[in-house]
Amino acid sequence: MNKSMSCCLLSLTASAIFSVNASAAEAPSCKNVRLGVVNWTDVIATSAMTQVLLDGLGYETKQTSASQQIIFAGIRDQRLDLFLGYWNPLMTQTITPFVDAKQVRVLDKPSLEDARATLAVPSYLADKGLKNFADIAKFKTELGGKIYGIEPGSGANTQIKAMIAKNQFGLGGFQLVESSEAGMLSAVGRAVNRNEAIVFFGWAPHPMNVNIKMTYLTGSDGALGPDEGKATVWTVTAPDYASRCPNVERLVSNLTFSAEDESRMMQPLLDHKDALESAKAWLKAHPADQQRWLEGVTTFDGKPAGGNLKLTTNP
């Protein structure tokens, strides 16, 4: 009788263990993870980190580069799953209709708390007196009547255009030069090399804060967000993604950064290094980050992530 009961208990225990392991595995539909990526170096860096971690856990990740509007629409239309680059307040005007319609979901905590984004100038120009938004118009001739922004359709450009349209700070006669991040930084680099005047859209985290002696302008009156451009960055998912793919959701919820670390992650990309290889190198050099980001996470087939992350290197 006791022997029979013991066998029975062993059988039940084995079944329970098998059941727990099986339930820990992600649904087959979660294997393919579709990331939306805007062409900002910080978002490229964090998205690469996410892909390396997911692929190392047995998922198959695909990145799609697009504007923020197209990415939010892609999540709405179930063509994309995740976006790690919602800058608040810069993109808030763009994302609000999608949030209000419950077509996208913003995670409960930011991935980056100490971001900043507002107009900036080379510090030598600040030394000459261009220190706040009201000073820009005073330097119109030196500036050629131009303010340098980022890609067309971005929240930052929309806000700068609104200032120009309202003649806020006397900017009515100015032109916004829309370009990519790389194009804008090239223009800034040329101006700095020639010691010329330029006003541009700057942000942290970004290596520009290390590579350029720059000064963020004050006195914005909230035109580019409250607190002189202070910002947070958030991850956005499909509304039901947490219930469908809880393991991926847990991983991206764990992915939090500091502005200093992100700036360091971004530098290799500006040096034309591969983003995925740079992410792998960071993970190998920072085991504490790897441990923190993988806490409570499993591989796609339900094994503990710790010790089972595969960081393969391309030949």
DSSP states of 41-75: HHHHHHHHHHHHHHHHTT-EEEEEE--HHHHHHHH
pLDDT tens string 215-268: 999 999 999 888 998 999 999 999 999 999 999 999 999 999 999 899 999 999
What percent of the chain clears pLDDT 90, i.e. is strictly above it? 80
Give the pLDDT score at 90: 82
pLDDT tens string 187-213: 999 999 999 999 999 999 998 988 899
Q: What's the whole-number mean pLDDT along residues 289-303? A: 96
Query: Half-sphere exposure (CA, 13 Å, Cβ side) for 80?
Result: 27
Give the pLDDT score at 23: 41
Domains of the chain, first to last = 30-114+231-293 (3.40.190.10), 115-230 (3.40.190.100)
**Residue 102 pLDDT > 80:** yes
Residue 246 dihedral angles phi and psi, to the nearest 5°: -65, -30
Give the pLDDT score at 24: 58
Exposure pattern of 39-78 as b/e (b: 16+ CB <10 Å)?
ebbbbbbbbbbbbbbbbbbbbebebeebbbeebbbbbbee
pLDDT tens string 30-52: 999 999 999 889 999 999 999 99
pLDDT tens string 110-140: 999 999 999 999 999 999 999 999 999 999 9
Read off the pTM: 0.76
Q: How far is CA 287 from CA 53, 258, 282, in A?
A: 13, 16, 9
Residue 177 dihedral angles phi and psi, to the nearest 5°: -90, 110
- Burial of 135: CB neighbours in 10 Å, binned 0-12, 13-18, 19+: buried
Say if residues 36 and 83 touch (Cβ distance below 8 Å). yes
